[in-house]
Amino acid sequence: MVQAWYLLIPVFFPVLSGLCLAFFRPLDGVRARKAAVTSVLILNMLLLVPVLLSPEMELHLFSLSDRLPVFLRTDLTGKCFAALMALVWCLAGIYSFGYMEHEKHLRRYYSFYVTTLGVLMALCFAGSVITYYMLYELMTLLTVPLVMHTMEKDAVAAGIKYLIYSILGASLVLLAVFMLARFVPTFSFVPGGVLTEEMVSGHETLMLIAAFLTILGFGTKAGMFPLHGWLPTAHPVAPAPASAVLSGIITKAGVLGVIRMVFFFIGPDMIRGTWVQTAFMALTLFTIFSGSLLAYQEDLFKKRLAYSSVSQVSYVLFGLSTLHPLGFVGSMLHVCAHSLIKDTLFMSAGAVIHRTGKTRVSELEGIGRQMPGVMWCFTLVSVGLVGIPPCLGFVSKWYLAQGSLNSVIQPGFFTWLGPVILLISALLTAGYLLSLSIHAFFPRTPLPAGYQKLEPGAGMLVPMLVLTFLSIALGIYPTPILNLLTGLAGTVL
């Protein structure tokens, strides 16, 4: 067991390390920078272990007023997100050394990259709405330079768009908090929520509007319609490692925001059976279908994956919208599955672009013969994203469908519409991912004799192999994580 002050270690260690990378000149060398960043990322995972193994603890930081304490608190939800984020952030960072070797402004990139990790750790353990909101905004500001890294015209425009969308979404959340402030006794996160029917009696409409605004606001970062437009703009211009963590991790900050507000602040009982739940589910289902359809039609490799993220992250939000324990478990499972799979997909796309310069799917005929390791990783995780066993994606989608069929929502046809949309989306996912793999390994026109092997180095390939292995292994043996998440669902629903 560790003391509460220890919570600051996995937060400030990456932040201070990021500042050192920015201002400490001896770390400018390629080898020194690689060693420093790798050490920070791996050591931060080790420093996080005592927090994950300790009982719940709370650390007060400061207060903005009597009702607005800023503090950190560890709970099972935060621990799950923190463990996943630390692992994926580490692997994407190691992968980036090979991809970014010829890029400029590496000191700036790795400084923001490492610093953001510390803020994400604090975000996972935010104990109140105010704490979460402050850290959420800081995370946005720190990730804008990752999108704008090349500083080319398209990258700057994409970074500005990402910032505008993020600020708009956060403003909706802040407005909702102001609307709810008169009713709530505390801004702390409590399993099951802090609101009761007696507190909002006579003001139910205002409460429901505020609840919907929080979902819409945090849904912006998660890529939910109608504020999803930043994703397909930012991903094609950002470096592949940045695209990987934007899709696999940063979108999950929006998901965590929805979880905290719906299940730990407002309370699921306050919106179950109301128009808010119906609108929430309708938006997620529309996003799932339209994102998959747009991905199916897109030829630009990374933009296809970006539209895929729009669709797949809304799978997570769909599970939350069921307000049912099975849907909640499926949602959390898909958080894990999507992070592992989508990071691998973006890393695969980055490896192809890095080694061949080809950015369009139509140009990748036979690439599986030239880059077999990369394309096997791409294919195996694609199978998981479609939802084919034994991958984790199958387990998560099974629970999502079960949660929908058992949910209580009006109109009632939404209970079966959800699984139907999930199935249609799965078929579209197979179309836009597995068709690429088929043409990669079985080109319609034969490759010329003596074609060159273009496999990337171990530094890029090993992180992809690790993520691929985890996405399959957790699908083959999901029992431990299922038991963990089932217990978590029981505390909030």
Per-residue pLDDT of 39-85, as tens digits, reads: 999 999 999 999 999 999 999 998 888 788 899 999 999 999 999 99
Q: Is the pLDDT of residue 451 over 80?
A: no
What pLDDT score does 450 carry? 65
Count structural domains, the chain. 1
pLDDT band with cut points at 50, 70 and 90 for residue 483? very high
Asked if residue 375 is part of any domain, the answer here is yes
Arithmetic mean of pLDDT, 96-102: 88
Q: Among the listed ranges 42-51, 207-216, 233-242, 317-326, which one has the minimum average pLDDT value?
A: 233-242
**Residue 24, φ and ψ in degrees, nearest 5:** -95, 105
Arithmetic mean of pLDDT, 180-208: 90
pLDDT band with cut points at 50, 70 and 90 for residue 116? very high
The rounded distance, in Å, linking the Cα atoms of 345 and 374 is 9
Per-residue pLDDT of 123-156, as tens digits, reads: 999 999 999 999 999 999 999 999 999 888 999 9
What pLDDT score does 26 carry? 77
Distance in angstroms between the alpha carbons of the first and the last residue of the chain:
28
Asked if residue 174 is part of any domain, the answer here is no
Q: Is the pLDDT of residue 337 over 90?
A: yes
Cα dist from 200 to 196, 240, 276, 349, whole Å: 7, 47, 16, 50
Q: Is the pLDDT of residue 112 over 80?
A: yes
Q: Which domain holds residue 320?
A: 272-444+452-493
Which of 161 and 28 is assigned the larger pLDDT? 161
Arithmetic mean of pLDDT, 263-289: 95
What pLDDT score does 64 carry? 84
What pLDDT score does 66 carry? 79
What pLDDT score does 271 carry? 94
Asked if residue 469 is part of any domain, the answer here is yes
Asked if residue 297 is part of any domain, the answer here is yes
Top-ranked range on mean pLDDT: pick from 17-26, 406-415, 443-452, 465-474: 465-474
Place of tokens 């699921």: 268
What pLDDT score does 236 carry? 84
The rounded distance, in Å, linking the Cα atoms of 244 and 251 is 11
Residue 138 and residue 250 in contact, taking contact as beta carbons nearer than 8 Å: no
Positive or negative CA dihedral for 101, 104, 107, 111?
Answer: negative
What pLDDT score does 346 carry? 94
DSSP line for 364-405: -TTHHHHSHHHHHHHHHHHHHHHT-TTSHHHHHHHHHHHHHH
Asked if residue 289 is part of any domain, the answer here is yes
Asked if residue 325 is part of any domain, the answer here is yes
Asked if residue 57 is part of any domain, the answer here is no
Q: Is the pLDDT of residue 28 over 80?
A: no
Q: Is the pLDDT of residue 455 over 70?
A: yes
What pLDDT score does 146 carry? 93
Could you check whether the bond before residue 226 is cis, i.e. omega within 30 degrees of 0? yes
What pLDDT score does 63 carry? 87
What pLDDT score does 125 carry? 96
Mean pLDDT value across the chain:
92
Asked if residue 473 is part of any domain, the answer here is yes
Q: The tokens of 356 are what?
A: 């061949």
Q: Among the listed ranges 22-31, 445-454, 459-468, 483-492, which one has the minimum average pLDDT value?
A: 445-454
